[in-house]
Amino acid sequence: MTEVKIKILTTAIALSFLSTAAWAQVDTSDWKCELCPFEQGYDAEYEAGALYVSDSAARFGNATGLDEEGGKLALDGEGRYASEGFQASWTVADLALDARELEVEAGRQGRYGLYLGYNELPYRQFDTTETIFTAQGNDFLRLPPGWVAAGSTAGFTELANSLYPLDIGSDRQNIMLGGHFLMSSGFKFFADFRQENRDGVQITSGSGFTQSSMLPRMIDYQTDTIDLGLRYASGPLSLSLAWYGSFFDNKAGSLTWENPFFDNPATPGFDPHRMALEPDNDFQQLTLTGSYRFQTWNSVLGFTAANGTGKQNEPLLPYTINPNLAAGALPVANLDGKVDTSNYSVTLTSRPIRKGRIILGYRFDERDNQTAQATWTRVIVDTFVSAEPETNTPYSFERTRMHVSGEYELFDQLRLSAGYERRELDRDFQEVAEQTEDNGWGRARWRPASWLDISIKGGSAKREIDRYDENVAASFGQNPLLRKYNLAYRYREYGELTVSTSPANLPVSATISAMFADDSYTQSQMGLNQAETSHISADVSWAVSENTTAYVLVGGETIDADQSGSESFGTPDWSAFHSDSFSHYGGGLEWRNIGENTDIVLDYTHTDGETGIRVYRTGVSPSDFPDIDSDFDSLRLKLRYQKSDRLDIDLNLRYESFETNDWALAGVAPDTIPTVLTMGADPYDYSVWVVGVGFRYLIGARDISFPE
């Protein structure tokens, strides 16, 4: 039977089936399902083992919990229980590591379900950092006893005696609770709650007048997120009314540190400086979403209407912690910050003809910052009072997007589509008050044979400035020739090609994809002038045999950008060329049922990143920065041996190495920069082996069989 005939017949079958009357009137009284092997009782897999990490490396432990050398337990598992309509399941992963996960679900499907989850996510950034500061609580950093202040890091005579190692990283812990309840009338109630706690140490910077210090800041965040809602579905109508709440609590409202640079002889101790940390905030949003399916032209009308409010009302710090400065009174004690958000959209998709479809859409997003403005007379870095009052700017914007697209199946093998989109953006308090972008694209998808699929897409987009507010630009002190790249005129051309093939007579499938995007900022005399992105990749899979598959992958990408600036605050007198490249290759093998009891899985990946920067200045030879290279290798080998019907033995081998020569870090000791006390982080460089052995014990049958 030809492919066309198969499609016609199955379409006809499906269309007949889609008639609700047909479904309702099928007599299934003889459908006993006597052979159906429904799930009953308890099945589980318990995995226990040990693994050994060859070396300590913070970055290797990022998200894995394997940052320290030594032996660790490996505990994983999952289980399922079903009885008389009640189902429950649990999964556990990495239970003995800082990346542990636990999930439990239970309920009666079709009536209600409950969910409980817990997970941890370690973020490990540096284990080569040092600091002189000692934390007292989570909001005060004290200098060591006997510290000698100086005007530059070269003068820190007690630096070597005062530095001690301090790792940089943090941990997230998430607790999740959720549930849903289905009511018989098509309503479904759902509720989800998540509490995330994040604590650890993060690098921030505390600045003085001409010097600054990298500070080990303690993080102690809690974020509670709630989703509640009601869904209704009946026939062609689906609706969802949902409330979303996010409540952020920062246990530390500020960070005070003792300045290691100059101290004031007139006052005892070291000059304290203080910064405000992220304020507590909350956001609540009500969203109504729906869709209605029309018989006419097989159309679907969808809409979303969401309104939200975000608030922040933390007590404000004084202008300065320096008691010797005559700073004025604050205009308000609390910001009483408030942002209203609105999001509306409507989309219509329709098939006026069998081979064609049109899509119309409109979307509106608004951020309306209702925070009041006031005049502030700041104190500059806790050192002297500014003579220039400033007014805070509550940024707001309105963004609309309209799009129309159509597609037509010219032949069974060829589908053409095209579309147009217009975006408009209006802003308050920014140089570009009104902006529009027009985007047109076309696409062809060609399937000349069942084993070949070719898709090509291209388009262009032009972003224009409808109104540029010179006064705002001047108020920022900007060079009048500068155009910020996210606001500037931009002409973009882009294209995409994807070829997928899976010949019927060959056990091979391959996908090749390529894309490019070319951005021109021709009206920007200063700022970003040009950016180009190109990417190509290929994946090949080979079913070597019934039990063996292999794959290889390779790809590369480049991102080039040109920008210009002016040291003389006039016409451009310097420019910079950036080149980011990234390539990857790898492969793998899955070999199952070796000797009917052994599986082997092997995977290897190599990546290579490179960033180059060249700076040109008028009258000076170009300056080339050393390339920032990053090399990554990952090898994973897993062998599973089925010892018996219930017991498997796993052997795992993992190797990973990463190396980078980042000039922003390499050779930058705490006292390398005269005016910045750094933490001396080294560029990442690790090579780690992990060897593991585990036992997996199964409860329940390994295979599914028909009931006896």
Partner 1 sequence: MKLLRQIRPRGIAIAAILVVFSLPGYVLAQSAEDEDPAYSREGADSCFACHDDQLTLAVFRTKHAVPSDPNGPFGHGQLQCEACHGPSGDHAGRVRRGEERPPSINFGSDSGTPVVVQNEMCMNCHTGDEGLAWHAGGHDNDEVACADCHTSHAARDPVMATATQPDVCFDCHQYEKSQAMKPYSHPFRQGKMDCSGCHNTHGDDSGDLFARQTLNGTCYDCHAEKRGPYLWEHAPVAEDCSTCHDPHGSNNPGMITMRGPMMCQGCHSQAGHPSLASTADGLADGMPSQYLLGRNCMNCHTQVHGSNHPSGSKLMR
Q: Which of 296, 471, 619, 708 is in the footprint of partner 1 by CB under 8 A? A: 296
| DSSP E strand stretches across 211-332 | 212-234, 237-250, 254-258, 272-276, 281-294, 299-312
Instruction: Give the nearer residue to partner 1 in terms of CB position, either 311 or 646.
Output: 311
**Per-residue binder mask for partner 1 (CB under 8 A), 250-269, x = binder:** x-------------------
Pick from 128, 289, 598, 657 the residue near partner 1 by CB under 8 A.
Answer: 289
Q: Considering only the stretches 142-150, 161-169, 290-298, 594-602, report the one whose residues sit in contact with partner 1 under the rule CB under 8 A.
A: 290-298
Closest approach, Cβ 331 to partner 1, in A, equals 9
Single out the residue of 139, 314, 426, 648 in contact with partner 1 (rule: CB under 8 A).
Answer: 314
Quick count: other Cβ atoms within 10 Å of Cβ 438?
14
Tell me how many degrees the CA angle 575-577-578 measures, rounded to the nearest 5. Answer: 140
Q: Specify the stretch interacting with partner 1 by CB under 8 A; choose among 143-151, 160-168, 283-291, 588-596.
A: 283-291
CB of 87 to partner 1, least distance (A): 7
SS3 of 122-172: the string is EEEEECCCEECCEECCCCEEECCCCCCCECCHHHCCCHHHHCEECCEEEEE
Question: Minimum CB separation from partner 1 for residue 647, in Å?
Answer: 19
How many CB atoms sit inside 10 A of residue 510's CB?
17
118 burial type by CB count under 10 A (0-12 exposed, 13-18 middle, 19+ buried): middle
Contacts (CB under 8 A) with partner 1, residues 214-233: 214, 221, 223, 225, 231-233
642 is a site residue for partner 1 (CB under 8 A): no
Residue 207 CB, nearest distance to partner 1 (Å)? 4
Q: First vs last Cα of the chain: how many Å apart?
A: 39
Give the nearer residue to partner 1 in terms of CB position, either 139 or 314: 314
Instruction: Please identify, using beta-carbon distances, which residue of 147 and 221 lies nearer to partner 1.
Output: 221
Q: Are 359 and 348 in contact (CB under 8 A)?
A: yes
Report 618-637 residues binding partner 1 (CB under 8 A).
623-626, 628, 630, 632
Which residue type occupies 45? E
Compare residues 144 and 328 and give the one whose CB is closer to partner 1.
328
523 binds partner 1 (CB under 8 A): no
Query: Rounded to an integer, what distance in angstroms lies between the CA atom of residue 437 and that of residue 462?
Result: 5
Name residues contacting partner 1, limited to 472-511 (CB under 8 A): 476-479, 481-482, 484-486, 502, 511
Give the residue, chosen from 269, 390, 506, 523, that forms a contact with partner 1 under the rule CB under 8 A.
390
Q: Residue 326 interacts with partner 1 (CB under 8 A)?
A: no
Instruction: Please give the angle made by the CA atoms of 505, 506 and 512, to the nearest 5 degrees.
Output: 125
Contact 131, 216 (CB under 8 A): yes
Q: Which of residues 671-700 bind partner 1 (CB under 8 A)?
A: 672-676, 678, 684
Distance of CA 301 to the CA centre of its chain: 30
What is the rounded distance in angstroms from the CA atom of residue 392 to the CA atom of residue 376?
A: 8
Asked if residue 73 binds partner 1 (CB under 8 A), the reply is: no
Binder among 53, 62, 141, 201 for partner 1 (CB under 8 A): 62
Using the contact rule CB under 8 A, the part of the chain among 15-23, 127-135, 141-149, 157-165 near partner 1 is: 15-23
Q: According to CB under 8 A, which one of 582, 604, 686, 697 is a site residue for partner 1?
A: 582
Could you say which of 79, 102, 188, 454 contacts partner 1 (CB under 8 A)?
188
**DSSP codes joined into one string, 171-216:** EEEEEEEEEEEE-TTSEEEEEEEEEEEEEEEEEEEEE-SS-EEEEE
Question: Measured from the CB of residue 162, what is the shortest distance to partner 1 in angstroms?
Answer: 19
CB of 392 to partner 1, least distance (A): 5
Applying CB under 8 A, which of residues 532, 580, 599, 685 lies at the interface with partner 1? Answer: 580
Residues 454-473 that bind partner 1 (CB under 8 A): none
Site pattern 403..442 for partner 1 (x: CB under 8 A):
x-x-x-------x-x---------x-xx------------
Does 387 bind partner 1 (CB under 8 A)? Our answer is: no
Q: How far apart are CA 173 and CA 649, in angstroms?
A: 31
The 3-state DSSP class for residue 653 equals strand
State the DSSP code for 354: T
User: Minimal distance in Å, beta carbon 146 to partner 1?
Assistant: 26
- Exactly one of 10, 136, 547, 597 binds partner 1 (CB under 8 A); which one? 10
- Quick one: how far is CA 105 from the chain centroid? 26
Cα–Cα distances (Å) from 570 to 2, 469, 477, 573, 701, in that order, read: 71, 19, 13, 8, 78
Total interface residues for partner 1 by CB under 8 A? 208
Residues 87-106, interacting with partner 1 (CB under 8 A): 87, 93, 99
- Distance between CA 384 and CA 324 in Å, rounded? 10
**For residues 699 and 46, what is the distance between their CA atoms, to the nearest angstrom?**
8
Single residue of 555, 648, 688, 694 touching partner 1 by CB under 8 A: 555
Half-sphere exposure of 534 (CA within 13 A, CB side): 4
| Binding residues among 109-168 for partner 1 as defined by CB under 8 A | 109-110, 121
Spatial contact of 498 and 510, defined as CB atoms under 8 Å apart: no
Site residues for partner 1, 42-61, by CB under 8 A, read none
Nearer to partner 1, 265 or 386 (CB): 386
- Residue 143 CA to residue 16 CA, distance in Å, equals 79
Cβ neighbours, 10 Å, residue 59: 20
Q: Which of 112, 283, 604, 689 binds partner 1 (CB under 8 A)?
A: 283
